[in-house]
Structure 1
Amino acid sequence: MYRAAMEELKAWKAKKNRKPLIIRGARQVGKSWLMKEFGTREYEDMIYVSFDNNERMANLFEGSMNVERLIAGLELYAGRKIVPDTTLLVFDEIQETPKALTSLKYFNENAPQYQIVCAGSLLGVALHHGTSFPVGKVEFLDLHPMSFIEFLAAAGKEQYAELLNDGGFDIASAFAQDYADLLKTYYFVGGMPEAVRVFCEGKSFDEAREVQRRILDAYEQDFSKHAPGAAVPRIRMLWNSIPSQLAKENKKFIYGLVKEGARAKEYELALLWLADCGLVSKVHRVASPEIPLKAYEDLKAFKLFLNDVGLLSCMTNIHQSILLDGDRLFTEFKGALTEQYVLQQLKTLRGLDVYYWSAERSSAEVDFLVSDGREVVPVEVKAEVNLRAKSLKAFHDKYAPRLSVRTSMAGYKREEWLLNLPLWAIGTLKRAVEDTRKG
């Protein structure tokens, strides 16, 4: 299974002054697989330690933080020597032993020659009380569900994926219908690795849906197991309200849809908990599209998305038969799946800030604003081939950005101030914008 994050792990390994690396991401996005695959491919030896229900490791890290002592204990546990240059140490479910998390500080300061990659769902890592987090002593890599391009590779369409990665729109456009059909499948299957694997092996939508249901059930169990008890009912209500929030034409999050009369203050902890665990993404409104966007962030206005389009389609119980009915999938659910999909792809592009814009005194709204720190690019999302984008034109007339992007089921086309980027190619946005800078 191809994951683009593998290249980032290779780059981390090649760094002279690397620090222990923590892979962050929600449960079931493939953190354990990625670490093991990296160790198998790139190292002579890998020592894998899962801290889940591991009493021996818990006892080892409860003692002195002397690195030589910890290495000796890990060697006894593994039954072989740890060679700094050729052995990768993999710490999985590290949140289950908070002192193991703390130890990363001492590895970084006193024994930087050891190569350590670890992961743990944000459950516990972000919220564990009494843990000394090694601020400034570790590096992070955020792992999201599989992108559409990664899905193409997993589905045996490696050449289709390579065309997009290489920016080969001339050739890719000739196969636009193939890409569109595969995109419809991705809307249903999503990017959770187990759902993708099951679907690609058996081409069964039902089996993929069953995996998604299990993942959603596991998330619900996590609410009860890991969240503060008083917050659990509100977490559940907020979580279950997301499909109805996205079904609105104006997708701005409204607390009244969670519960009649609900106020923001009552749900702050629930929202923070879901965001810290990687289960939801907040996209804030900006009042003015200036750099840096964060300086113009409206903290009270935001859209809330799930971590995966397949899980959203599962929560709404969209049946696979809809895939057989032409373009119905792209008009049902008021474009919610499409906007969820686009945000999910944008989140996988490193170094991009993502917001949205709406006018103060009119209904004009641009679905997303993205910035790489050099310029702000508005992105208008259209679920079909419909190319009317009044809000995008109004935004262009008012702020005159160098480039505006409209993504839809229409083909690739570069105009004077507008780039039409097919939905199936939105994962190439960063490259496409850079190419327009070169002329």
Structure 2
Amino acid sequence: MELKRDIYRKLLAWKSKSNHKVLELEGARQVGKTYILDKFAKKEYKSHLYINMIGSSGKDFLQCLETAASWEPGKKREKNPVYRAFQLYDPDFSDCEDLVIVIDEIQESSVVYSKIREFARDFKAHFIVTGSYLGKTREKEYFLSAGDTEVLTMTTLTFPEFLDAFHKRGLYEAIDLYGGSDHAGYEELKSYFHIYLQIGGYPEVVTTYLESRSIPDCEAMISNLIQIFVKESSRYFDSPLELEMFEKIFSSIAATLLKEKKGTPDLTTDLTKIIFKEESGRITKKMTNYAVSWLFLSHQIGYCSMSVDCSNLDIVDNCRYYFNDLGVAGYFLKLTGEPLSIIEGVLCENFVYLELVRRIRKQEIAGQVPWFAIDKKTSGELDFYVRSRIDNMDYGLEVKRGKNRANTANALLERGKLDFVYQLKNTYGGIADRKYSVPLYLCGRIPFNLGKK
């Protein structure tokens, strides 16, 4: 079964631009990058070339590059060795705007990655580069052509995309945010949300559920995806110990989320202390930092920063981690042995985090990562704080998990630290003054333009 992906519209938008930048498609392993690019290339261009730098096509292209760039004293130099390399690779190669060249797993070759500027400036053809471990390209031998690339990030299926697989996206988009629709519709969406919280959005996992309707089958698939990620990461690490740390770090992140503390000024130190208990001193802060950075650049985890008193100018960077897929989050949260009711609360918070990341990418809200907030006066904590880039108002988001969080949001609203509060609950919704109750699973639709009304 084919799963519809929203990123296809963004690929079309990139194609229509005249800036001729190379598209760099980021995303975790197995989110469907290769599949969507193959579909896009075949449907939207008259011709396409696909080169995989981890396969035989990549080895062949490197050989063509080497041949085209070779030179002997006294002979005429090749004016455009990269162009010549494509001619050697494909005798029918003809540079034109209706040709797209997709280079997959480009992190495997610093030589090819460093040619991105030439791809953008010397060719009429369109270029797309991608890979699941582009964190490798941050090393010094890789030339970063930031001005010649446009970056898109492909994630696992969002909740609306997940609903699309069940033909329920229309219901999601049409239902009233504040409880004005038939209650049966809310209950139906809630039932799908409960499934999504458990299995997440990896395409292979969602397909497994569509075929078997079995949560255990999906959990087995998630476990397999995690193991494959760990094994594939071994290609990029010299130390077996660093590789062994990955699952321990995942589990440690789950532990920090369950502690419900007000962030930490040094996440790496905090994680190292947790892992240290198991490893008897073999784990250092430097090793932890390197492994965490790899997980971040591989799109496995994300950061959340802390706002002091709901100020967009008083931000403490990177005080909390979240998972980039709910299925992976649930897998490691369940390993802690905590009650399922507690785990579901953390997953709901992680869900809202991911929705806010998408709103940042749409440039609707401020920040490079989502923010939570602390109230210095009451020592309370707000789940998420948002400064809108649409109306420049301050919004508090409360994921309903206890009275304390509601009290903090109310106190901040009364003291003018917030302009509006969204209470994300399992209820149908409602409006009371500047407080808006919205079903949790609809948080991707909440507007941040209430100040313009």
* Separation in structure 2 between the aligned mates of residue 335 and residue 368 of structure 1, nearest angstrom: 14
Deviations 1:305-342 (A, max 9, x none): 11111112223448xxxxxxxxx96x232611111121
Aligned equivalent of 1:191, options 190, 193, 201? 201
Which amino acid is the alignment partner of residue 24 of structure 1?
E
RMSD of aligned residue pairs (Cα, Å): 3.1
Partner residue, 2:26? 24
Which amino acid is the alignment partner of residue 291 of structure 2?
A
* Separation in structure 2 between the aligned mates of residue 405 and residue 9 of structure 1, nearest angstrom: 33
* Separation in structure 2 between the aligned mates of residue 208 and residue 80 of structure 1, nearest angstrom: 44
* Separation in structure 1 between the aligned mates of residue 24 and residue 47 of structure 2, nearest angstrom: 19
Partner residue, 2:63? 59
Partner residue, 1:407? 424
* Equivalent position SS for 1:433: coil
Partner residue, 1:38? 40
Partner residue, 1:70? 82
Decide which moves more: 33-42 or 138-147.
33-42
Partner residue, 1:134? 145
1:240 to 2:251 alignment: yes
Count of aligned residue pairs for this structure pair: 421
* Equivalent position SS for 1:131: coil
Contact 1:309 1:341 in 2 (8 A): yes
Contact 1:402 1:417 in 2 (8 A): yes
Decide which moves more: 64-73 or 142-151.
64-73
C-alpha change, 1:180 and 1:388, in structure 2 (3 Å) is same
* Separation in structure 2 between the aligned mates of residue 75 and residue 390 of structure 1, nearest angstrom: 67
Which amino acid is the alignment partner of residue 374 of structure 2?
S
Deviations 1:338-385 (A, max 9, x none): 11121122222322431111133643101112234333322111259x
Aligned equivalent of 1:367, options 383, 404, 418? 383
Which amino acid is the alignment partner of residue 237 of structure 1?
K
Once the two structures are TM-superposed, the CA of residue 129 in structure 1 deviates from its matched residue by: 4.2
Decide which moves more: 195-204 or 88-97.
195-204
C-alpha change, 1:117 and 1:378, in structure 2 (3 Å) is same
Deviations 1:146-201 (A, max 9, x none): 1111100022324224436x979744755111011000100111011111122123
Partner residue, 2:170? 159
Once the two structures are TM-superposed, the CA of residue 100 in structure 1 deviates from its matched residue by: 1.6
* Separation in structure 2 between the aligned mates of residue 387 and residue 414 of structure 1, nearest angstrom: 21
Which amino acid is the alignment partner of residue 282 of structure 1?
Y
* Separation in structure 2 between the aligned mates of residue 220 and residue 403 of structure 1, nearest angstrom: 43
C-alpha change, 1:158 and 1:334, in structure 2 (3 Å) is closer
Contact 1:101 1:134 in 2 (8 A): no
Once the two structures are TM-superposed, the CA of residue 123 in structure 1 deviates from its matched residue by: 4.5
Aligned equivalent of 1:379, options 397, 419, 423? 397
Once the two structures are TM-superposed, the CA of residue 238 in structure 1 deviates from its matched residue by: 2.1
Partner residue, 2:50? 48
User: TM-score with structure 1 length normalisation?
Assistant: 0.85
Contact 2:120 2:127 in 1 (8 A): no
Aligned equivalent of 1:270, options 291, 295, 314? 291
Decide which moves more: 197-206 or 258-267.
258-267
C-alpha change, 1:414 and 1:433, in structure 2 (3 Å) is farther
* Separation in structure 2 between the aligned mates of residue 147 and residue 264 of structure 1, nearest angstrom: 34
Which amino acid is the alignment partner of residue 99 of structure 1?
V
* Separation in structure 2 between the aligned mates of residue 216 and residue 130 of structure 1, nearest angstrom: 29
Contact 2:398 2:424 in 1 (8 A): yes
Contact 2:388 2:448 in 1 (8 A): no
Once the two structures are TM-superposed, the CA of residue 37 in structure 1 deviates from its matched residue by: 2.1
Once the two structures are TM-superposed, the CA of residue 231 in structure 1 deviates from its matched residue by: 3.9
C-alpha change, 1:359 and 1:401, in structure 2 (3 Å) is closer
* Separation in structure 1 between the aligned mates of residue 405 and residue 129 of structure 2, nearest angstrom: 47
Once the two structures are TM-superposed, the CA of residue 233 in structure 1 deviates from its matched residue by: 4.6
Contact 1:39 1:88 in 2 (8 A): yes
Aligned equivalent of 2:219, options 203, 209, 214? 209
User: TM-score with structure 2 length normalisation?
Assistant: 0.83
Deviations 1:199-253 (A, max 9, x none): 1233232332222111110122134322352644544432221221122232635
Deviations 1:265-317 (A, max 9, x none): 66332322221221111101122433xx3x42213x61111111111222344
Partner residue, 1:179? 189
C-alpha change, 1:222 and 1:284, in structure 2 (3 Å) is farther
C-alpha change, 1:391 and 1:334, in structure 2 (3 Å) is farther
Contact 2:382 2:409 in 1 (8 A): yes
Rg comparison, structure with higher value: 2
Contact 1:189 1:310 in 2 (8 A): yes
Partner residue, 1:323? none
Contact 2:34 2:104 in 1 (8 A): yes
* Equivalent position SS for 1:298: strand
Aligned equivalent of 2:448, options 430, 433, 436? 433
Decide which moves more: 353-362 or 275-284.
353-362
Partner residue, 1:96? 108
Which amino acid is the alignment partner of residue 304 of structure 2?
V
Contact 2:393 2:451 in 1 (8 A): no
Contact 1:405 1:421 in 2 (8 A): yes
Deviations 1:41-73 (A, max 9, x none): 322222222111331122234564979543454
Decide which moves more: 373-382 or 134-143.
373-382
C-alpha change, 1:168 and 1:415, in structure 2 (3 Å) is closer
Deviations 1:23-49 (A, max 9, x none): 111212221122122223322222222
C-alpha change, 1:44 and 1:203, in structure 2 (3 Å) is farther
Decide which moves more: 181-190 or 254-263.
254-263
Contact 1:5 1:143 in 2 (8 A): yes
Structure 1 gaps of 5+ residues are: 319-327
Contact 1:163 1:169 in 2 (8 A): no
* Equivalent position SS for 2:4: coil
Partner residue, 2:74? none
* Separation in structure 1 between the aligned mates of residue 405 and residue 374 of structure 2, nearest angstrom: 17
* Equivalent position SS for 2:418: coil
